[in-house]
Structure 1
C-alpha cells in the first residue's frame, strides 16, 4: 500500500515534475517574454522618457506659444481697438469724403459756371481786345488827324514841318488858307452848317493839291499846306486850282470863300518860322483887302437864305418895308434916308434866320426859354448887318427895333429918344403888320382894331408923335 502510495506519489511527482518542467519552460518563456518585455519596457521607458522630454519641450514651447498667443491676443485686442478706432476714423473720413464729394460736386458745378463765365469773359475779352485795338488805331489816327475834316492836324503839321525843313526839300513853300465868314455862318446858320462848310472846304483844298502835299487844319478856320520842292509860281498854280474848284461848289446855299497867302523858303539859312509868319501876314493882307466884298457877299447870301427859309416872314418883311418907306415919305426924309429905312424894314427880322423853325411857327404860347430865344433875333440881326461896312447904321436900327418908349423893351432897355428914330418907325410898322396879319399863334385884327391898339400903347410902347403920323398920314386914317 505504501508502495502503491509511493508509486502514486511518484507518479504524482513525475506528473508534477513534468508539469514543473512545463512550468519551468513556461516560466523560462515567460522570463524570455519578460526579458523581451523588459527590453521593450526599457525602450518604451526610454521612448517615454524621450516623449516626456519632448512633452516637456513641447510643454515649454506650448508655454512660450501660449505666452506668444497671449501676447498676440493682446496685440489682436490692441489691433482690434486700433481697428475700431481706425473704423471709426474711416467712418468719419467716409463722412468727410461724402461731405467733400458733395462739396466737390457743388464746386464742380460752380467751376462749370465759372468756366462758362470764363469762356464768356474770354469772348468778351477777345471782343474788348479787338475793340481796344480798333480804339488804339483810332487814337493813333486822331492823334495826327483833324476829327472833323479828316485832314492832318496841327501836331502832325508841326512834326512834318521839322522833317521837311531840310536843304533837299528846297524850295519849300508854306501856303496858308483861311475860310471866310465862318463865324457868321456858325452864328446864323448854326454850327452844323459851319462844320459842313469846313468839311467841304477841306475836300476842295485836298482835291486841288498834289498827292505828296501835306494838307492840315491847324485852327478853327485855318488850313496850312506844306509844299516841298515847290516855288512861288507853282504855289500860285495850286491856289488858282483850289479857288476854281471852290467857285463850283457850295455847302447848302453857302458859297465857299477862302483867302490864301504863301511864302517860300529858298535858302537853308532862312528860318522856317519866319517863312510861316510871312505867309500868314500875306494871307491877312489879302483878306483885309477883300473883306468888304467878302462880307457883302456873305450878307447877301444870308439875306437870300432868310427869304428862302420862311416865306411868311419874307412877306411880312416886305409889307413892313413898304410901311417904313411910306413913313419916310410923309416925314419928308431925304431919298437916301427913305431907301435906307425901307431896306432896314426889309431886314429887321433877319436875325430870325438863326431861330429854330419850330419856335418861329409854334401855334401855342411860347415858353420862357422859347421867348428868350426869340428875343435874340434883334442881336443876331445886328451882328449879321454890322459885318458889312455899308450896313453898320442899319445894324443899329435893327438892334433897337424892339426897344420900348417906356424903357421896358429889349435888348438894352433904351427909352424915348435914346431909341434911334428909324428903330421907332420900324417898331410901329412891325407891330401894325403883325396885328393885321394871320399868324400861327393869333388871328388877324382888323385895321381899325390894330389902330386902337397902337393908340392905346402910344407913349408906353411906341413914340406917341410917330403913332399919330403913322395913323393920320402914312395910313391916311
Structure 2
C-alpha cells in the first residue's frame, strides 16, 4: 500500500476499509491499475507543462506582436461585415490625420476626406465577395500640402475585413522625382534624349501632322571645357537651354539630346513659322551675349519641316542635323576667333597682368633677343610671347590665382595646367598660332624638373629659356597677392642660385651682363 497511487488507495479504503480481500490474482490486478494511474499522472504532468510553456510562448508572441505594431507607422483596423470599425491598433509614430475616437464605431468611409466619393465601401464589398486582397491610394490635403495614403484590405474569418492604412507621401515624392529624372536632363531641366525618342515615335504614328524640327549644337563646348573648365561649359549649356526654351511656344517641345546638342519639335508648324523661330533664337542669343560678354554663346542651328506623310521622323531629323552641320562649318572659325579675343581680354583684366608688367617683360625679352642677334620677326614673336605666355591662366580659378599664402598640392596641379590650356587657345588664333608651342613649354626647367613636358637642356626652345629668365625676374620684382616685391639685388641673387637647375646657365650670364648694362643697380659704378 505504501507505493500505491493515492487515488487507488482512497478508492480501496472506501470499498473495503482496512480489510482488502485476498483473492487469487488480486495483487497482479491492483498493480496493473496502479501502473495505469501512474502513467496517467505522467501524461497529465507533461500536458500541464506543455500548456504552461505554450501559455508563456503565447504571451511572448503577443508581446512581440504589440512591439511590431507599435514600431510600424501604420494604422490597423478591423471591420465587421458592414464596414464598421470595431477595433483599431496604431503605432506610436503613426502619422494619421484622424484620432482613434473619430474612427472607432464609425463606417470606414469616414477615413476618406471626400465621403461622397470614398472608395472604401465598394472595396469592403469586393473583398468580402472575392476573398482577395484589394489596395488603392488616395490623396489627403494636410496643412495645404497634398499627402498620399495607401489602403490595403484583406478578408479574415467571420466576415470581417482587416485594413492597413499607411502614409506613402515620401514614396510618392521619390517616385515622382525618379519619373522626372527619367524624362529630363539633370543639368538643364529640359527633356532628355530618351523622352525625345518617345515623342518622335509617337509623332511617327501621326504621319499627316505638320511638324517642324530644329537641331542645335553649342559651338566650342569642348574648347570651353578644356580651357575654362567644365563649370564654365555647364554655364554655357544652361544659357543655351534658356534661350531655346524662351524662344519657343509653350506648346512646343525642346530636349537636350547629347553633350552639346539640342532638338526642338514645333507642332503644326510650317516653313515660315519655323524660320521665325530661328530668327527669335538668334535674337535672344545676341541679347544674352550683350548682357554677359565674358563667355559668348553661339549655337549652330539647322531645321526641317514635314508637311505630309512623305517623310519619317528619322528622315526629318537627318535633314535638320545635316543643315545644322553646314552652318557649324561657317560658325567654327568666327566662334574660335571670338572666344580667343574674349579670353585675351579676360586675361588683360586680371589685375596683375597690367600694362606696366607687359611692357617690362617685352623690354627685357627684346634686350636678350637683340643680344642673341635674333631677326626682327623672331623679336616680334618674342614680344607676343611676353604678352600672352600665361593666357592659359584664364582657365584657372581666381581663388587659386590670387590666393594669399602657399598653394596646396591640388591647387598647384591646377596652376600647372595653364601652359596646356594656353596652348589649346593659341592654336585657335592665327595671331597666336606661331607661339603656341612656346606657350606650352615656357615652364620647362634646364634640369628637366619643369612642366608639363619634362624637357631638359637645349631640348627646351631658346625662346622659352629666355622667357623663363625674364618672367622670373619680372615676377620677383613685382608685388603679388601672396608676397611683396623683391629688390633688384635679391632677384639677381635668386636667379644666380638657380643657374643650371631652373635656368640655362649661359643665358643667365648673358642676362646678368645685359641687365646690369641696361639697368645698373643703385650700388654699381656707372
TM-score by length of 1: 0.71
Of residues 268-277 and 342-351 in structure 1, the stretch that sits farther from structure 2 once superposed is 268-277
Q: Could you tell me how far 1:94 is from its partner in structure 2?
A: 6.0
Q: Which residue matches 1:233?
A: 272
The more displaced of 83-92 and 412-421 is: 83-92
CA positional deviation for 1:261: 1.7
Alignment of 1:337-352 (within 5 A): 338=379, 340-352=381-393
C-alpha distance after superposition, 1:105-124 (max 9, x if no partner): 43332222122124469969
3-state SS, counterpart of residue 261 of structure 1: strand
Structure 1 residues 93 and 159 mapped into 2: Cα distance closer, same or farther (>3 Å)? closer
Contact 2:426 2:436 in 1 (8 A): yes
The Cα RMSD (Å) is 3.8
Deviations 1:399-451 (A, max 9, x none): 11112234442222334443334323321121102222344555533212222
Question: Partners in 2 of 1:403 and 1:265 — Cα distance?
Answer: 58
Q: CA deviation at 1:150?
A: 1.8
User: In 2, distance between residues paired with 1:442 and 1:406?
Assistant: 27
Q: For residue 285 of structure 1, what is the aligned residue in structure 2?
A: 326
Q: CA separation of 1:193/1:302 partners in 2, compared to 1, >3 Å: closer, same or farther?
A: same
SS in 1 for 2:432: helix
CA contact (8 A) 1:292 1:388 kept: no
Q: Post-superposition shift, 1:238?
A: 0.8
Matches within 5 A, 1:34-433: 100-119=54-73, 129-165=168-204, 166-170=206-210, 172-249=211-288, 253-266=294-307, 268-270=309-311, 272-308=313-349, 310-312=350-352, 314-315=353-354, 319-328=357-366, 331-332=369-370, 338=379, 340-362=381-403, 364-433=405-474
8 Å contact kept, 1:327–1:470: no
Q: Deviations over 1:112-138 (max 9, x none)?
A: 212212446996997784433333333
Counterpart-to-counterpart distance in 1, 2:94 and 2:260: 45
What's the offset of the Cα at 1:351? 2.3
Q: Which has the higher contact order (CA 8 A, sep 6+)?
A: 1
Distance 2:363 2:326 in 1: 40
- For the structure 1 residues 96 and 252, does the alpha-carbon distance in structure 2 shift closer, same or farther, using more than 3 Å as the test? farther
Contact map agreement 1:204 1:246 (CA 8 A) in 2: yes
Paired residues of 2:192 and 2:255 also in contact (CA < 8 A): yes
Q: What is the alpha-carbon distance in structure 2 between the residues aligned to residue 365 and residue 295 of structure 1?
A: 35
The residue aligned with 1:46 is: none
Q: 1:463 to 1:247 in 2, by over 3 A?
A: same
Extract unaligned runs of 5+ from structure 2.
Answer: 1-14, 22-29, 75-90, 96-148, 151-165, 521-526
Q: Distance in 2 between matches of 1:441 and 1:83?
A: 104
Query: Taking structure 1 as reference, are residues 82 and 255 closer, same or farther at Cα in structure 2, changes over 3 Å only?
Result: same
Distance (whole Å) between structure 2 residues aligned to residue 276 and residue 368 of structure 1:
48
Normalized per residue, the structure richer in helix is: 1
User: Which TM-score applies when normalising by structure 2?
Assistant: 0.65
Q: SS at the partner of 1:224?
A: strand
Q: Is the 8 A contact 1:180 1:257 kept in 2?
A: yes
Which whole-Å CA distance do the structure 2 matches of 1:226 and 1:140 have between them?
A: 22
User: 2:407 & 2:68 partners in 1: Cα distance?
Assistant: 59
Task: Determine which structure has the larger strand proportion and give its number.
Answer: 2
Deviations 1:356-399 (A, max 9, x none): 54544555554544433322221122122223343222322211
In the alignment, is the contact (CA less than 8 A) between 1:262 and 1:280 conserved in 2?
yes
Q: CA deviation at 1:466?
A: 4.3
| Displacement after TM superposition at 1:355 (Å) | 3.2
Moved more, 337-346 or 399-408: 337-346
Cα contact 2:441–2:451 (8 A) shared by 1:
yes
Assess if the C-alpha contact under 8 Å between 1:145 and 1:153 holds in 2. yes
Alignment gaps of 5+ in structure 1: 1-68
Q: Residues 226 and 103 of structure 1: is their aligned pair in 2 closer, same or farther, counting only changes over 3 Å?
A: closer
Supply the distance in 2 between the matched residues of 1:275 and 1:113 (Cα, whole angstroms): 64
Would you say the 8 A contact 2:364–2:470 is kept in 1?
Answer: no
Query: Would the alpha carbon gap of residues 159 and 112 (structure 1) be closer, same or farther in structure 2, given more than 3 Å must change?
Result: closer
